[in-house]
Each structure stands twice: as structure tokens, then as C-alpha cells.
Amino acid sequence: MKKSFVFACFGAFCAVGAWSVSAAEGVVTADVLNIRTQPDLKSAVAVKLDKGFKVEVLGESGDFVEIAIPVTAPVYISAVYLNEGKTTAPLKMYTAGSTAAASYGVLPKGSEVKMLEIDRYGWAKIEPPAGIKLYAAKRYVAVTPDAAKPEAKVEEKKDVKPETKPEAKVEEKKDVKPEAKAEAAAVMTAATEKALADIGVDLQKGTAVTVTGTLLKLENTTVPILQFVLMRNGTHEYYLCSDRFQLASYGAAPVTIRGRSFRVPSWRVPVLYIESVTPVKAGK
């Protein structure tokens, strides 16, 4: 079994052993059963299932059964690369909100996700996407024999059209709208340009960034154009510069900001000129 997956391949027939894809229902018989990322007792545990929990059995791999990811399994991705429920870059999915956690594989750019919550470190917990496969010890899963379906029948259903439709839709949207929006927003007033130049900013050396965090108003500031900072992981990540957005209206809720980052001589924290602000919505 491959460690990572690509959504474009999810509809293909990939069963191993006695059952075909989506062929059987299984029931957990152990009091608590470890569900792992690979068919190996040394692999990471993604989720624990209680006795009686029903799973979708996809096939066999040695002493393990391959199952569809349960709805209770935790899946985390970086919220920085989410915009209106879609990924803006290929993202690794983790079993916990940390890059040190085990990975389920890669979520392609343009994938639609349902966000359940977001923590203060910028990790978004999402509903498990279809296509992720996990593994359970075979002897602790009772499979319902009469749920099996002929392989040819399943293969025919899986190849009919679920693949090309969603992929074409997502790519078309991501290639058209966000770029047009960014171009329209990249206008800085002459007054803002002068104010940034006065503190030593080289406007020719901006770096495009997309970042998610929370806003904090500066009570005392010696630079009038810098009224807010973006907080991430408990620290001031950027001084925020905006001549078109009322940042106070966003409150303390997480937001995703796109813009250009500039270094200021002798400053530890860079300045981020805001081109767009999007509130982060937890689930829909």
C-alpha cells in the first residue's frame, strides 16, 4: 500500500484480498481497537474505535483489513492555505495539529474541505475527506458476508464519472477568480507609499504572503499607519498596514490575510500591507 494518495485516483479500483471496494460492512469486536495509518503494528494510530463501531471494509492486507477512514478520525491541515473552503496549495493531512504527527497523505490544491474548528496555532481540523484508507487488525473486525458485491459491479460504478467532474470544477475556479481578485486589490495609495518609505521600507522588495491569525489593536503606536498586529502562536507575526480595510470590524475572530510583506531596517517584525481579508469560518 502506498503511504500517500492523490484524490484523482480515488475512484480507481484498489481492493486487495477477499473483498472489493465498498464491498462489506465490518463491526469492531475488541473493547477498543487501534486504527492505524499503515498495515503494521509499528505504524501510527490515527484513531481508536469502541466495540460495536461499524466500518467500511475495502480489502485485506496480511493480518489487517483496509477500511475507509471513520468519521471520528481527526484530520488536520494548515489553515493558512485555505480560502473559502478550498485549498490554495497541496497540503499534508495530519492525525494531530503538528508537523510531527503522522500523515494521512497529501490533499491536492483546489480540494473542497469542511472545516470543523481552528486552533490558535493555525491548524484547521476538517471533516475526513473521502478516499483516505486506514488499517485495523483483521481478527478484531467481524465482516458481514452478505454485504459483499461483485467486483465488476463496483468497478463499473467507480469509473462512471465521480473523478473528472469535481476536478475540472475546482481547477477552473482556482485558476480564474483568485488571481483576478489579487490583481484588482494590489493598489496602494500614494500616502501609504510615502508613510512606508518614511520608515525605511523598500517598496520594490515586497514578498507575497497568505497568512492566518488573529488581529490585535496597538494601544500605543508611533507609526500612525500601523494600528494592528497579526498574532500567530502567541507572538506578533506582522505589523499590519491597511488603507482600505476597517480592521476593527473583524474583532478577535481568525482571519486569513493576503498581501505583501516588507522588511523594515532594524525591526524584528515585518510590515504586511493588506490586499484582502477573509474571516475564517469554522464549519458550514
> For position 75, what pLDDT does the model report?
95
Nearest to 78 by CA among 90, 69, 66, 91: 91
Domain span at residue 197 reads 190-279
> For position 283, what pLDDT does the model report?
54
224 and 250, same domain (yes or no): yes
Task: Report strand pairing: 24-28 vs 141-143.
Answer: antiparallel
The average pLDDT across 82-106 equals: 91
The predicted-structure confidence for 231-264, as pLDDT tens digits, reads as follows 887 778 899 998 888 888 888 789 999 999 999 8
120 and 26, same domain (yes or no): yes
State the average pLDDT for the chain. Answer: 79
pLDDT band at 100 (very low <50, low <70, confident <90, very high): very high
Q: Which position has the higher pLDDT, 31 or 152? A: 31
14 and 81, same domain (yes or no): yes
> For position 220, what pLDDT does the model report?
72
Is residue 145, in this structure, part of any structural domain at all? yes
Percent of the chain with pLDDT over 70: 76
Q: Which position has the higher pLDDT, 144 or 132? A: 132
> For position 210, what pLDDT does the model report?
93
11 and 108, same domain (yes or no): yes
The average pLDDT across 97-110 equals: 92
In this predicted structure, the answer to whether residue 83 has a pLDDT above a threshold of 90 is no
Task: Report strand pairing: 86-87 vs 91-94.
Answer: unpaired
Cα–Cα distances (Å) from 24 to 56, 128, 248, in that order, read 6, 20, 54
Is residue 168, in this structure, part of any structural domain at all? yes
154 and 217, same domain (yes or no): no
In this predicted structure, the answer to whether residue 273 has a pLDDT above a threshold of 80 is yes
The average pLDDT across 4-13 equals: 38
Total of domains in the chain: 2
Which H helix or E strand runs over 118?
A: strand 115-118
Domain boundary among 124, 148, 173: 173
Q: Which position has the higher pLDDT, 48 or 236? A: 48
Rounded-to-integer distance, Cα 225 and Cα 232, Å: 21
In this predicted structure, the answer to whether residue 129 has a pLDDT above a threshold of 80 is yes
> For position 284, what pLDDT does the model report?
41
The average pLDDT across 60-79 equals: 92
The average pLDDT across 112-125 equals: 88
The average pLDDT across 203-218 equals: 89
Nearest to 196 by CA among 254, 256, 121, 273: 273
Record the cell numbers describing residue 268, joined without a space: 524584528
19 and 152, same domain (yes or no): yes
> For position 145, what pLDDT does the model report?
65
The average pLDDT across 3-16 equals: 38
144 and 209, same domain (yes or no): no
Percent of the chain with pLDDT over 90: 41
Is residue 185, in this structure, part of any structural domain at all? no
Rounded-to-integer distance, Cα 282 and Cα 115, Å: 6
Is residue 179, in this structure, part of any structural domain at all? no
141 and 221, same domain (yes or no): no
Cα–Cα distances (Å) from 277 to 34, 225, 280, in that order, read 41, 17, 10
28 and 166, same domain (yes or no): yes
| Range from 23-27, 33-37, 175-179, 199-203 that averages highest in pLDDT | 33-37
